[in-house]
């Protein structure tokens, strides 16, 4: 047995910069490279934006200018400006800020004086400019260390604060911003703050109708009935039902997008069920009432308690100094306002009732199949090797939960290589047996009748909705050829048909693996395209050894570890409002057409590479 020493020399004190850089997950969730919506570079932008929006919420400044130029981010608000004598402390001294004073900032997002300091410490360049009453104070930092503290001087600029930062490449690697992710974040701010204008890289975001605008933006088809939009003091709610499977929620606290929900979302879901049961005087199953709902809720709470610094889940149980519980507040509001609305809008009430009854019929039709499928999944999972699980999961409270990943692959060779190379803490592997069924046009009954879909659903833990999703990143890891693309399309059809929120919420990715290995005695380069291969050949000199990987199974575990580690390349599967799911599926998975064949051939870079190689040989 090894004896580990423990004495005074083992006790260390880190300054605030060192601690943030050593444990960034405590402050910004995961690092990432920008391919995921919850990667650290977006959380850093959010932390700066929260401060700017809090100024607007307090009644100061009507617009915010945001720009991203390469890796440099600028956020300029027109609020009161940081008191000039405290500019340096406000962004570099822990537990310093105005939000400890509830008179200065009530019902704001940032309360602990931590967020912008984390941005400072994790940025290779960080500049803050504060303008108040004709005077300006500018301080510059590098990795949280003051590089220039400029003297205060006169200016003609409008009051407010400008923050300029560039995330550190050492921490985030070869990162990049995806404009759609930034657009989505900034739009949420204007939906929650009617009247606020945000200018971003030449685009103007503005909202008059709050959460109604948010839902209209995110719905690619009209709901079954007009949006029910209810507003009260410190609360706003909007919802309708669609034809998709599952439940789709957008929840906010003090303008913060609580992607993991919390006490307010739990209360809202319960209140909807109770009110509708009371209105129709029938004890409908909660799943039938909420099936296909798309809803948004926003509340304001004094001194909210979040479960982490990234503020993705509300833990507060009280609304404020009066001590009223979040649950009681939301339940009372929904009970009164929704009941009144349904009594006044009988047509909507009728459509809603039919939707609930249709959901009930479908649920009962598959209930017996569902029970058999559950039992089968439990028995099979005890003895099969389809799922090789990891230790940390998305629905846990672990600080590394955002890194939890499942690779869905096909074939023993590929799954074997990934399994041997993976990080068992955060990476799981699910092995498909051949190509999945084309589920286009089928009902959810097929999910339970088809063993592969049933086991995949069980592995992801999404039978009752994606709020219990077991892995944050669901990665399709298939060969980069025609068969691999077909498997991806079949998987995407399954997800879009029955669990569209997995795609809409940014959980689905495609694993990018190299097509070629180019090496000489001194260096090895992995190339993801024909162009990268050409450059590698030039860089490594004459006659290097060139290997083309025809499938994932041909990549050894020793090499695979490079492609699913910190430099893993993931291509996010994204959808815009104009992308209609039914049209997508009809085009890709409906009747075979010449258009589709031409599209697939035209977008297979791998096939082009093979053709080029064969032509060169001839």
> Are the C-beta atoms of residues 596 and 587 closer than 8 Å to each other?
yes
Looking at residue 290, its pLDDT comes to 94
Q: Edge-to-edge strands of the sheet including 427-432?
A: 387-388, 427-432, 405-410, 473-477, 508-512, 569-572
In 42-149, at which residue ranges do the beta strands (DSSP E only) sit? 63-69, 72-77, 123-132, 135-142, 145-149
Q: How open is the CA angle 472-487-374, to the nearest 5 degrees?
A: 60
> Are the C-beta atoms of residues 303 and 319 closer than 8 Å to each other?
no
Cα 604 to Cα 592: distance, rounded to the nearest angstrom: 18
Cα 92 to Cα 121: distance, rounded to the nearest angstrom: 8
CA distances from 322 to 101, 330, 457, 553 (A): 18, 15, 44, 62
Say what angle helices 346-383 and 263-280 make with each other, to 10 degrees: 120
In order of their start, the domains of the chain are: 16-205 (3.30.565.10), 211-360 (3.30.230.10), 384-513+549-617 (3.40.50.670)
Of 77, 159, 75, 181, which is closest to residue 119 (Cα–Cα)? 75
Task: Classify 163 in phi/psi space as left (phi over 0), alpha (psi -120 to 50) or beta.
Answer: beta
**Six-digit token pair at 277?**
């049961």
> Are the C-beta atoms of residues 161 and 81 closer than 8 Å to each other?
yes
Of 309, 552, 292, which is closest to residue 419 (Cα–Cα)? 552
Mention every residue, 6+ apart, whose C-beta is less than 8 A from residue 192: 210, 211, 252, 255, 298
The pTM of the full predicted model, rounded to 2 decimals, is 0.75
Looking at residue 259, its pLDDT comes to 77
Cα 354 to Cα 224: distance, rounded to the nearest angstrom: 10
Cα 154 to Cα 156: distance, rounded to the nearest angstrom: 7
CA distances from 92 to 117, 145, 556 (A): 6, 8, 47
Looking at residue 321, its pLDDT comes to 43
> Are the C-beta atoms of residues 38 and 404 closer than 8 Å to each other?
no
Mention every residue, 6+ apart, whose C-beta is less than 8 A from residue 159: 60, 61, 78, 79, 80, 81, 131, 132, 133
Looking at residue 479, its pLDDT comes to 86
Which residue ranges in the chain fall short of pLDDT 70? Answer: 1-14, 94-113, 304-324, 368, 370-385, 576-588, 590-593, 596-597, 599-618
Place of tokens 């995961």: 30
DSSP 110: -
Cα 179 to Cα 364: distance, rounded to the nearest angstrom: 43
Cα atoms in the Cβ-side hemisphere of radius 13 Å centred on 379: 7
């Amino acid at each position: 047995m090894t004896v580990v020493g423990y004495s005074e020399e083992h006790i260390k004190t880190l300054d605030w910069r060192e601690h943030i850089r050593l444990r960034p997950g405590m402050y910004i969730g995961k690092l990432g490279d920008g391919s995921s919506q919850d990667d650290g570079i977006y959380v850093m932008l959010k932390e700066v934006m929260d401060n700017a929006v809090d100024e607007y919420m307090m009644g100061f400044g009507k617009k915010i200018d945001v720009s991203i130029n390469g890796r440099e981010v600028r956020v300029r608000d027109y609020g009161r400006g940081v008191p000039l004598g405290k500019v340096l402390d406000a962004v570099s001294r822990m537990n310093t800020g105005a939000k400890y004073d509830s008179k200065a900032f009530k019902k704001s997002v940032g309360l602990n004086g931590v967020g912008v300091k984390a941005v400072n410490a994790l940025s290779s360049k960080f500049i803050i400019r504060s303008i108040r009453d004709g005077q300006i104070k500018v301080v510059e930092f590098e990795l949280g260390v003051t590089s220039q503290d400029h003297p205060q001087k006169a200016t003609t600029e409008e009051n407010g604060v400008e923050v300029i930062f560039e995330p550190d490449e050492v921490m985030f690697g070869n990162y990049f911003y995806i404009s759609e992710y930034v657009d989505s974040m900034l739009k949420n701010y204007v939906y929650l703050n009617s009247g606020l204008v945000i200018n971003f890289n030449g685009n103007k975001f503005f909202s008059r109708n709050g959460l109604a605008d948010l839902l209209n933006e995110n719905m690619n088809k009209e709901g079954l009935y007009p949006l029910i939009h209810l507003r009260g003091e410190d609360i706003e709610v909007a919802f309708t039902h669609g034809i998709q499977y599952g439940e789709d929620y957008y929840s906010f606290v003090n303008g913060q997008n609580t992607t993991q929900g919390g006490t307010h979302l739990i209360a809202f879901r319960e209140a909807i069920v109770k009110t509708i049961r009371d209105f129709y005087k029938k004890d409908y199953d909660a799943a039938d009432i909420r099936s296909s709902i798309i809803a948004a809720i926003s509340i304001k709470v004094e001194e909210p308690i979040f479960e982490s610094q990234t503020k993705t889940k509300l833990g507060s149980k009280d609304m404020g100094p009066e001590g009223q519980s979040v649950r009681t507040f939301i339940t009372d509001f929904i009970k009164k306002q929704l009941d009144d609305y349904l009594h006044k809008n009988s047509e909507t009430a009728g459509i809603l009732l039919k939707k609930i009854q249709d959901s009930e019929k479908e649920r009962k039709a598959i209930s017996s199949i569902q029970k058999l499928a559950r039992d089968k999944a439990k028995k099979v999972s005890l003895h099969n090797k389809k799922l090789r699980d990891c230790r940390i999961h998305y629905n846990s409270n672990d600080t590394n939960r955002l890194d939890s990943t499942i690779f869905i692959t096909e074939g023993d060779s590929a799954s074997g290589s990934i399994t041997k190379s993976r990080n068992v803490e955060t990476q799981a592997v699910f092995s498909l047996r051949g190509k999945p069924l084309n589920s286009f046009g089928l009902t959810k009954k097929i999910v339970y009748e088809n063993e592969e879909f049933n086991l995949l659903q069980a592995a992801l833990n999404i039978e009752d909705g994606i709020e219990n999703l077991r892995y944050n990143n669901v990665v399709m890891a298939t060969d980069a050829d025609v068969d691999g693309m077909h498997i991806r399309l079949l998987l995407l059809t399954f997800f879009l048909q029955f669990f569209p929120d997995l795609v809409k919420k940014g959980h689905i990715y495609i694993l990018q693996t190299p097509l070629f290995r180019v090496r000489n005695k001194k260096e090895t380069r992995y190339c993801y395209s024909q162009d990268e291969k050409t450059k590698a050949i030039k860089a490594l000199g004459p006659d290097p050894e060139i290997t083309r990987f025809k499938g994932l199974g041909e990549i050894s575990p020793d090499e695979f570890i490079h492609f699913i580690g910190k430099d893993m390349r993931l291509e996010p599967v994204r959808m815009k409002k104009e992308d209609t799911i039914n049209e997508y599926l009809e085009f890709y998975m409906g009747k075979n057409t010449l258009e589709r064949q031409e599209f697939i051939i035209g977008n297979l870079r791998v096939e082009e590479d093979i053709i080029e190689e064969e032509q060169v040989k001839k």
